[in-house]
Amino acid sequence: MSTILPDQLAKYPAISDLRKRAKRRLPLVAWEYLDMGTGDDVAVSRNRTGLDNVTLLPQFLKGEQTQNTETKLFGRTYAFPFGVAPIGLTGLMWPNAEIILAKAAAHYSFPYCLSTAATQTPETIGTVVGNMGWFQLYPPRDEAICDDLLKRARDSGFHTLVVTADVPAASRRERASRAGLRLPPRITPRFVWQAVRRPAWAIATLRHGLPRLRMVEKYVNSEGTLNSASLTNASQFVGERFGGTLSWAYLQRVRDLWNGPIVLKGLLHPNDTEKAIGMGIDGIGVSNHGGRQFDGAPAAIDALPGIMQQVAGRAAIVFDSGMRSGLDVIRALALGADFVLLGRAFMFGVAAFGEQGGAHVAEILLADLKTNMAQLGVTTIEEIKQLHQET
């Protein structure tokens, strides 16, 4: 892990600073893929407004206090109550992003969730992530592929499974389409023009090569009809074989296969949580996919209290969508989350500072989390979780 210079942190003290720098360093197509929502990006704004509207009442005169951010989830202890959300096609935004973030997770002891649509394999990431690995499953149509993916994840040391529920179909994501994103990324004159104006990205990408969906390449080759390991075939394969398959029966099968905690990610309706708990799902992932799937979705933070009431402590609540600061993490915990994931914030860091990006984001979140805990007069994550009962 390369160390961050204090000057770098002082000059870029917030995720919004990293976002601005990331935008300057990425070719338009990669930037749009990272930053976009879907439709008119209303759900993205709604996430922000919903979070900004959560205010908390501080209490004072507690004397000198120190803040402890350690958190327990599914019987494991993490240094912070947050981790990295699964991100697909990661290598398009920055080469080796998965390795950079997995290293940061291992270094600080927070979870890193590897996506099925990752550009690295579980075997590679398993060697760097230590015991901080979570694995995200987009459910494949073929049972044999599902079984093999789960086995590979398990054999590589990933202990917590995240099953994504909120992609019943691909969403339109018009910004990426306008910017010229085609899967696989093609070397068109427009793409070259975008890339040469972003030399840091272009040099890093030239060094590592264009991204490949390494996770699923193995199955593309074994298909027979799709016999090359190129991204063309892999992305076509993912589109055809991984979409719209999840049902309660499918989930039950995954539950039976996975010997460890499962988080069902993307729930917004309290009714869905009831079924999930009934079949032994350990974590309810309250999320609107960062506003990337359904522009008519409520802010995820607005759905959280209803879900918390319904779940009533019978499962853990893992929240994501719109988190950009330690204060946001506190807001989600105070409204009922047990743990929080951040997607874009971590990728802004990597796009802004490459190797140092994961650590830079962790330092920002940690400093902001501790400062705001002090402002509120709380010293532990458990005390934050009690706040909703008091307000």
For residues 284 and 307, what is the distance between their CA atoms, to the nearest angstrom?
9
Residues 75-104 close enough to bind ligand FNR by CB under 6 A: 85-88
| CA 159 to each of CA 207, 216, 306, 328, 338: distance values in angstroms, whole numbers, following the listed order | 32, 20, 29, 27, 18
What is the bridge-based pairing of β-strands 71-73 and 76-78? Answer: antiparallel
The pair phi, psi for residue 356, each rounded to 5°, is -90, 0
Cβ pair 354, 8 in contact under 8 A: no
| Catalytic (active site) residue 289 | yes
CB 389 to ligand FNR: min, Å: 26
Report the alpha-carbon angle 162-166-357, nearest 5.
55
CB 222 to ligand FNR: min, Å: 22
For residues 201 and 182, what is the distance between their CA atoms, to the nearest angstrom?
19
Residues 302-321 close enough to bind ligand FNR by CB under 6 A: 320-321
The one segment of 143-151, 288-296, 353-361, 372-380 that binds ligand FNR by CB under 6 A: 288-296
What is the CB neighbour count within 10 angstroms for residue 259?
9
Of residues 27, 83, 283, 343, which one binds ligand FNR by CB under 6 A?
A: 343
The reply on whether position 325 binds ligand FNR by CB under 6 A is no
Q: What is the dihedral angle through the alpha carbons of 134, 123, 209, 26, rounded to the nearest 10 degrees?
A: 10
C-beta of 290 vs 336, nearer to ligand FNR:
290
CB 127 to ligand FNR: min, Å: 21
User: Nearest-CB residue to ligand FNR?
Assistant: 343
Which residues, including other chains, have CB under 8 Å from residue 235's CB and lie 6 or more apart?
183, 184, 213
C-beta of 350 vs 378, nearer to ligand FNR:
350
CB 65 to ligand FNR: min, Å: 29
- 């197509």: which residue's tokens? 29
The reply on whether position 175 binds ligand FNR by CB under 6 A is no
The one segment of 10-18, 50-58, 276-284, 285-293 that binds ligand FNR by CB under 6 A: 285-293
Cβ pair 347, 314 in contact under 8 A: no
- 């779940």: which residue's tokens? 311
Cβ pair 325, 365 in contact under 8 A: yes
C-beta of 283 vs 290, nearer to ligand FNR:
290
Residues 126-165 close enough to bind ligand FNR by CB under 6 A: 136, 164
CB 265 to ligand FNR: min, Å: 6
For residues 350 and 347, what is the distance between their CA atoms, to the nearest angstrom?
5
Give me the catalytic one of 159, 289, 360, 388. 289
Which active-site residues does the annotation give? 289
Contact positions vs ligand FNR (CB under 6 A): 33-34, 85-88, 115, 117, 136, 164, 265, 287, 289-290, 292, 320-323, 342-345
